[in-house]
Amino acid sequence: MSILDTEIKASELKNELKKPCSTGLKLIKISAFLSELFHHENLTPYNSYYLEFSHFIILLIKKKEFNYIAPGRINDLLKILDYCTQIPDVSLDIKAFEDASEILNKKKEEILLILGETKGKIKEETKVYAFPDKLNIVLIEPDNKSKYEQAAGEILPLNIDIKRTSNKNNSFILTNDTGVDDNGIKEQLENSVKIAEQKCLKDKIKYSNYDYIYSIGQMDACYLGKSLGIGTALLAFNAVLFNTSNKYYYKFLCNTVYTGELNDKGFMVPMPYNVLKAKLEIVFYSPFKNFVIPEDNYSDAKNLLSELNKKYPGRCLEIFPVKKFEQVLENEQCIKKYDLKLTEKIKHLQKIHSNLINIVLLFVSIIIMVFFVLTFLIPKLDKNPEYAKYENYKVGFYNKHDIKLFETDNVDPAFQNFYTNKEIFTKKVNITDIDGDGKNEILYITRTVSDPLKNRLLYCIEGNGNVKWIDTIPGQTVYYNTLHEDNFQTDGIFVTPSLNNDTRKIILTGLLNKTFPFGIFKLDHTGKILSQYWNSGQLVVNRFADIEKDGKEEFIAAYCNNHFRCAAMVIFDTDFIEGASPQTDPLRNGKPGLEKYYILFPKTIINTDYLKKLNNDVIEIQQLDTNGLEVTVSEGTYNTTDEDIFIIYKFDKDMNVKEIVFSSHFIGINDNLTNKSNTSEYYQKLSDSLKTNVRWWNGEKFVNSPIQNKYYLQANNPQR
């Protein structure tokens, strides 16, 4: 084919692509054109055509709207995409070509699985379900020039819905837009309804006039012809059965595909050979097991199937030849006979005796309405809050019946992430019974730019929206400053589990100077501050955990220590939350910290040399099913992806480090820094080194073995 001929064909193809047709047919047309060019020894003069049409191919493939296509056609498309990537062109988006090839290869694997060429589990659609109101039909869309040599097709569900009508004649409609005024389809619908009516009269089935409403599942193009006749007739007859007082009806198995035109006597009309060939190939490359065709096409179909099975012997497709549409009703491999169920009989009686049933339904509706009104009042009167939800810049509070009790004023949009992030939101709102009266209180903190005072407030609100009390965190003079700092910002609310039906204690955390020192306040159920603890650095990772499995949960606060420039974890007995972090005295009152454990985590070369961070941070704490904790320490994050490079420390109930686990990101970067792929022995040594560098505060200094703070032990046992 000369350059001139190629240009003419390319122009014609571009015009064809502008016309309405399916994604599958467009791919076939482009593939046929570009594949023909491969016959030239020198492809360079034709590179522009490959580049131009490859963009069409990629866009069409990304739609994923092509289904039952031969593996050979997929190979042609893959060959075209592969050749295009070899053309020297700086504007080529290689990633787009790779993505398109990946989609094609997945589709190819899926089809080869159906054909029995690969091992695996076939898709869900091959499970044998059955439906009374739909069956599968095969539709083809030929290229106008090549007729059926280049045909795309779909196997789609044909659905029916019928309604009784008082009109003297039946009516019928196909809800899909075929794109043209096709009298062939209308003729076949009318013919199918007449055949169904004749079958009912023959079998002495009571018949009324109906509106027959047909629809075909998602159509990607304009399909014409009369081959849906067998399907529309079967559905029409079965719909009448289903909607009368008959004792049975049929269900169509979803593993079967139908095709064939019916004449006015109900006999199947043979298909042209090229139409049969195109449809058989579509069904062959699909997961469906049975194919119903006109009896006169059976011999050709057997030969065609035999040729296809030579290529793919693992594909099992049964062909069922039918002379007249009633024969399908006798084939148990395609259709199942079902006795009418009680609910379906009731549905039928409802249609016949609609007036009487409407009266009964009205009476029942009144009873239900009265019951609903009575039962609705109880939830409406329930003012006990159960949960909170952020919506439309407000926090709404709901009872257990999902009824909103009240909502806050608009929150500051600058801090909207406090409310949209579930993990942060649970720290800002705590709903629980803090005073043992059987009713939940709402503990609530907020953050705003316009009114800094609100950042220091803890609200206790009743279920009716009334404020029970407000506590204001007082200003502080910290470290060596002489100024009174009143810029405290609350961070989280936590409530201790109740013990012996006692009232619960409230733990409020927050930051002074927006970053540190970090304060932890213990309050009683009236909002009175009982004690406070200050840390040099943020402790924003918080949780309760019964570490020792003794029935009493400790409060854990972790993140970092600015004084020692490393990750830190503090474990409190909730009876003793007081003082300050080791070697600091921000309030200058001389009170030592009463933390049960204060633990510092060592830094690695990734933190100090690679990321050049001031400190590492604890980012997550999980309680193990066995005794102890799992603590995740981040050495820092990638600048590009913001992913944490972390180490997991596993502690037992006595805070011994039992195991250290390195993340894959950590191992990858560490290997790069050491310029080698390190062995498991190397990482075992690194693990052992880190274990020996974890430090515990004994009350006077940090040591390298687990120990509780002596000041906590003295406070917990004064006689000791």
How many other C-beta atoms can be found within 10 angstroms of the C-beta atom of residue 35? 15
What strands lie across the sheet with 404-407, from one edge to the other?
387-391, 394-398, 404-407
Q: What residues does 569 pair with on adjacent strands?
A: 558, 599
């009872």: which residue's tokens? 399
Residues 6+ apart with CB under 8 A from 290: 253, 255, 256, 257, 317, 318, 319, 320, 333, 334
């062109």: which residue's tokens? 89
Mean pLDDT of 432-441: 90
Residue 407 sits at φ, ψ, to 5 deg, of: -145, 160
Residue 106 sits at φ, ψ, to 5 deg, of: -65, -40
Name the amino acid, one letter, at 34: L
Q: Which parts of 252-353 fold into alpha helices (H)?
A: 273-284, 298-311, 342-352
Say yes or no to pLDDT of 478 above 60. Answer: yes
Taking the whole predicted model, whether its pTM rises above 0.85 is answered as no
Mean pLDDT of 462-474: 91
pLDDT tens sequence across 135-145:
999 988 766 65
pLDDT tens sequence across 650-707:
999 999 999 999 999 999 999 988 888 889 999 999 999 999 999 999 999 999 999 9
Gap between the Cα atoms of 701 and 319, Å rounded? 85
pLDDT for residue 247: 78
- Which token pair is 718? 């004064």
Gap between the Cα atoms of 23 and 59, Å rounded? 10
Q: Which of 274, 291, 275, 273 is nearest to 224 (CA)?
A: 275
Gap between the Cα atoms of 52 and 89, Å rounded? 12
Q: Which of 583, 443, 586, 452 is nearest to 519 (CA)?
A: 586
pLDDT tens sequence across 257-314:
999 999 988 899 999 998 999 899 999 999 999 999 999 999 999 999 999 999 999 9
Gap between the Cα atoms of 9 and 22, Å rounded? 20
Mean pLDDT of 617-631: 91
Q: Do 54 and 81 meet the contact criterion of CB atoms below 8 Å apart?
A: yes
Q: Which of 172, 283, 274, 150 is nearest to 229 (CA)?
A: 172
pLDDT for residue 476: 75
pLDDT for residue 51: 86
Choice between 52 and 22, residue whose per-residue pLDDT is larger: 52
Beta strands 579-580 and 529-535 are parallel
Q: What residues does 618 pair with on adjacent strands?
A: 633
Mean pLDDT of 216-238: 80
pLDDT for residue 530: 94
Gap between the Cα atoms of 66 and 54, Å rounded? 17
Q: What residues does 541 pair with on adjacent strands?
A: 558
Name the amino acid, one letter, at 498: S
Three state DSSP letters for 191-202: HHHHHHHHHHHH
pLDDT band at 644 (very low <50, low <70, confident <90, very high): confident
pLDDT tens sequence across 318-348:
999 999 988 999 898 999 988 877 777 777 6
pLDDT band at 124 (very low <50, low <70, confident <90, very high): very low
Q: Which parts of 598-663 fold into alpha helices (H)?
A: 605
247 vs 166, 299, 379, CA distance in Å? 25, 38, 46
Name the amino acid, one letter, at 90: V
Say yes or no to pLDDT of 121 above 60. Answer: no
Say yes or no to pLDDT of 719 above 70. Answer: no
pLDDT for residue 231: 92
Residue 269 sits at φ, ψ, to 5 deg, of: -95, 130
Q: What residues does 520 pair with on adjacent strands?
A: 509, 533
Lowest mean pLDDT among 81-90, 418-427, 499-508, 646-655: 499-508
Say yes or no to pLDDT of 554 above 70. Answer: yes
Mean pLDDT of 82-97: 84
pLDDT for residue 504: 86
Gap between the Cα atoms of 198 and 208, Å rounded? 12
Say yes or no to pLDDT of 125 above 50. Answer: no
pLDDT band at 188 (very low <50, low <70, confident <90, very high): confident
Q: Which of 659, 655, 663 is nearest to 635 (CA)?
A: 663
Say yes or no to pLDDT of 66 above 90. Answer: no
Gap between the Cα atoms of 431 and 408, Å rounded? 15
pLDDT band at 3 (very low <50, low <70, confident <90, very high): confident
Mean pLDDT of 550-565: 92
Residue 250 sits at φ, ψ, to 5 deg, of: -115, 155
Say yes or no to pLDDT of 235 above 70. Answer: yes
355 vs 350, 358, 465, CA distance in Å? 9, 5, 50
Highest average pLDDT, of 8-12, 223-227, 279-283, comes from 279-283
- Which token pair is 600? 């510092």
Gap between the Cα atoms of 454 and 490, Å rounded? 9
Gap between the Cα atoms of 16 and 588, Å rounded? 85
Mean pLDDT of 609-627: 89
Residues 6+ apart with CB under 8 A from 477: 483, 484, 485, 587
How many other C-beta atoms can be found within 10 angstroms of the C-beta atom of residue 56? 16
pLDDT for residue 245: 61
308 vs 110, 204, 322, 400, CA distance in Å? 18, 45, 22, 62
Say yes or no to pLDDT of 122 above 60. Answer: no
Peptide bond into 294 cis (omega under 30): no
Gap between the Cα atoms of 700 and 481, Å rounded? 26
Average pLDDT, the chain: 86
Length reported for the chain: 720
pLDDT band at 500 (very low <50, low <70, confident <90, very high): low
Mean pLDDT of 112-124: 69
Residues 588, 591, 592, 595, CA torsion sign: negative
pLDDT for residue 482: 58
Q: Which of 275, 264, 259 is nearest to 321 (CA)?
A: 259
